[in-house]
Amino acid sequence: MNESPIDPIRLKLDNLEKRGRFLRIVRKFFQENDFLEVDPPLFVPAAGMEPHLDPFIARGMETGQTWFLPTSPEFYLKKLLAAGAERVFSLSPSFRDETPSKSHSPQFLMLEWYRVHAVPKDIVVDCENLFASIVRDFCDPELKTSQGKPIFLDQGIEVIELNRLFKDTVGTSLKELDSIEKWRSLAKGNGASVSSGWSENDCFSYICIEKIEKELAKREKPVAIFGYPSFQSALAEVREDGLIDRFEIYIGGVEIANAYNELTGKQKNIDRFLFFQAERMKLGKEPHPADELFFEAAGLMPRSAGIALGADRLLSLLLGCEIAKCQHG
């Protein structure tokens, strides 16, 4: 029997049915917790601001109009917080111009939510409750640690400081890594072929992939890692100890979410934007355009906490398959 070009879609129909049920359960969780569901626009004047996020550009064949496709719905959701919304969530497509892999797709579904008058640990509680509802209503996945032990999604989230995790895993705390020379030495000592062009961020990423994530793959519960170095600031506030007030969630050594104590204040966001664009230009990239309405919103936003969770990536872990096999397209 000859293969049909439509066979790849036919082969994943079962997973797509499970995807629909998964999304219904996620929506039900947020609706029951009084979150406003939002459909963020997909044509935006600016797609983001971070140095390493590269957007796609859409151009109209008739009018020649150009728009960016969002790298996340963050800017729009924060505008809603500034306008008076208190709890918002979206399940929306996001787009990043990066090489596809087993865990990355240029187009993906982002689950993002925000609470005003909240702190990051409130978001950890949301995640614990969301994971428990997924296990109860969707499936109890057969996730395993790197040592073959079961991972339990409904028994809470282990909270760890990244400073301590670095000390325990590579023998050096973040606070000791106070120069580019020390970062390069640490990366080189752990097997990296470090060149003079390596930045602190390059060294950090190498250590996380080669050491930290392998350690996290041994944990029998999801893990929330708090307190990041200043060059990993994104759009989060700075803590009193100088570390960045954000956390990432890992399941089985796989990062699935990124949360912040959101950076508020118009000028602070402008300053962060300008710093990031200078970094992009050093990398030979075009700067992101400024979203002036976002800066105005940042000046009106109350203290808030929010998180971006890769819905496709979480579903692929639950089903034990590659992202492409549980994703439309």
Whether pLDDT at 329 is above 80: no
Tell me which of 6-15, 54-63, 198-207 is least confident.
6-15
Residue 291, class by beta-carbon neighbours within 10 Å (0-12 exposed, 13-18 middle, 19+ buried)?
Answer: buried
- If one compares 4 and 39, the residue with the highest pLDDT of the two is 39
pLDDT for the residue 139: 86
Calpha distance 69→60 (Å, rounded) = 13
What ranges make up the beta strands (E) of the chain? 36-37, 57-59, 66-68, 87-95, 107-116, 158-161, 223-228, 244-251, 254-261, 304-310
pLDDT, position 137: 95
What residues does each domain of the chain span?
Answer: 7-157+221-326
- List the beta bridge partners of residue 224: 159, 249
The average pLDDT across 86-115 equals 92
pLDDT score of 8 more than 90: no
Q: What is the pLDDT of residue 1?
A: 55
Is the pLDDT assigned to residue 99 strictly greater than 90?
A: no
Tens of pLDDT, residue by residue over 158-177, are 999 999 999 999 999 999 99
Q: Is the pLDDT of residue 294 over 90?
A: yes
Q: How far apart are CA 248 and CA 328, in angstroms?
A: 26
Q: What is the mean pLDDT of residues 183-188?
A: 97
Q: What is the chain's mean pLDDT, rounded?
A: 95
Q: What are phi and psi of 110, to 5 degrees?
A: -105, 130
Q: Are the C-beta atoms of residues 83 and 102 closer than 8 Å to each other? A: no
Cα–Cα dist 171/223, whole Å: 20
The fraction of the chain above a pLDDT of 90, given in percent, is 89
Could you report the per-residue pLDDT of 44-61, keeping only the tens digit for each? Answer: 999 999 999 999 999 999
Give pLDDT, residue 112.
98
Average confidence (pLDDT) over 215-229: 97
CATH class of 7-157+221-326: alpha beta
Average pLDDT over residues 28-33: 98
Q: What is the pLDDT of residue 104?
A: 76
237: tokens are 């506030």
CA distances from 296 to 106, 238, 270 (A): 30, 20, 10
Residue 101 has pLDDT above 80, yes or no: no
- Provide the residue count of the chain: 329
What distance in Å separates the CA atoms of residue 128 and residue 125, rounded to the nearest whole number?
A: 5
| Residue 199 confidence (pLDDT) above 60 | yes
